[in-house]
A and B are shown apart, each in its own frame.
Chain A
Amino acid sequence: MQAILSPILNLLHAVILPHLGEAQTTGWLGLPAAAVPWVIFGLRAVDQTISTIRTLVTVQGERRLAWILGFLQSFLFISAVAGVLQSLTQPANLVAYAAGYAAGQVLGITLENRMARGHSVLRIISATKGQAVGDALRLQGWGVTELPGQGLEGTVGVVLCTVPRKTIPAAKSTILGIDASAFITVQHVFLLGGGWRP
């Protein structure tokens, strides 16, 4: 490990560290050396968590939130990088940097699933119970449109139901409670207007 890292470290030492000037000798933020890897880990974990959510918010077109999250993320990132670069002799710092990144990815995905912003459309194909599935979903308060379709073994019910992403698991168990063999797909949609919602 050391053998692989040392040429890289030497390069970084030669290229970047001379620019760091006096900060190099004072120690990063005046922290005790043992605490630095933990702080770096924490900074990266948080910045990557924010990054995951920012990406989602960006795709959804929410500008203000994207700006705020972007600022926080970038601020934490540059702090973490500074911490690593100012004590490159400590392999623990590098490991903490990478581990923080990885942990942040996992945390970000988890948190994003928990938040579940936006809406999805469920397309349910049921061989015999299309109408019952539609009625059950309506009872739960969601808007449903049923279409007749043609499958291998005759007429099937195609049920369209747009729900908030958060409620997908609830909708799924409602559907499977009526027809355990229903075919369900989920797609992300943007709502432009109308419809009845609870």
Chain B
Amino acid sequence: MPDLSLLPAYVMPVLIFFLRVSDMSLDTLRVLFVIRGQRLLAWILGFFQSLIWVVAITTVLSNLNNLWNVFGYAAGFATGNVVGMLIEEKLAIGYGHLRIISSRRGPGIAEAIRKAGYAATELSGRGRDGTVAVINCSVRRRDIRRVQQQVKDIDPNAFITVQEVRPLHRGFWRA
């Protein structure tokens, strides 16, 4: 490792900040991949994350008399975490299962979802005020907003919940 103590004092906190931003972005992504069972990606991200982290922490620890380094470290951690969240939202890897409950517009919603190219399964249920339609629809996470909009257009009062699911077998997934 190059001798960082040769750098001007004001560079150090900034350097530490960016090291931590990058390692925490990777770490946040890694955790979110671990949750979704993506082993290879988790390994790669874990390797680079800890590599960068070691550089950042040894830099801070060898210059603890500069409080700005500590602030850079903490702020970098916090920012990296949020950056990781943003990247993850953009990537939106994985699948979501939407459950839509509509008291009157069930068939219309199912039709609209199908017309948009997704699959829908309708069930009929009983709610507080009588019969309701329960529509199940599994889509890629990045498509959730689009399906949600389709539903809202037809029934603004529809009750929609989303759960993360892992596909086990077949079904119709819009490619």
Contacts and interface: CB of A to CB of B under 8 A. Distances in A.
Interface residues of A, number: 49
A189 B156 CA distance: 19
| Range, interface on chain B | 35 or more
Contact of A68 (B20, B78, B144): B78
A196 B73 CA distance: 45
A81 B152 CA distance: 51
Given A192-B160, A193-B160, A195-B159, A78 B70 contact: yes
B158 A194 contact: yes
A63 B85 CA distance: 8
Majority DSSP secondary structure for residues of B touching A: helix
Interface of A: 16, 19-23, 54-55, 58-59, 61, 63, 66-75, 78-79, 81-82, 85, 119, 121, 131, 134, 138, 143-147, 160, 162, 187-196
23 contacts: A16-B62, A19-B61, A58-B28, A59-B35, A63-B85, A71-B75, A71-B77, A71-B78, A74-B76, A74-B77, A75-B74, A79-B70, A82-B64, A85-B61, A121-B161, A145-B125, A145-B134, A147-B125, A160-B99, A160-B101, A191-B161, A192-B160, A192-B161
Interface of B: 20, 24, 28, 31-32, 35, 57-58, 60-65, 70-71, 73-82, 84-86, 89, 98-99, 101, 123-128, 132, 134, 144, 148, 152, 156-163
Given A75-B74, A78-B61, 10 more contacts: A23-B65, A58-B31, A58-B85, A63-B85, A63-B86, A70-B24, A74-B73, A146-B127, A189-B162, A193-B148
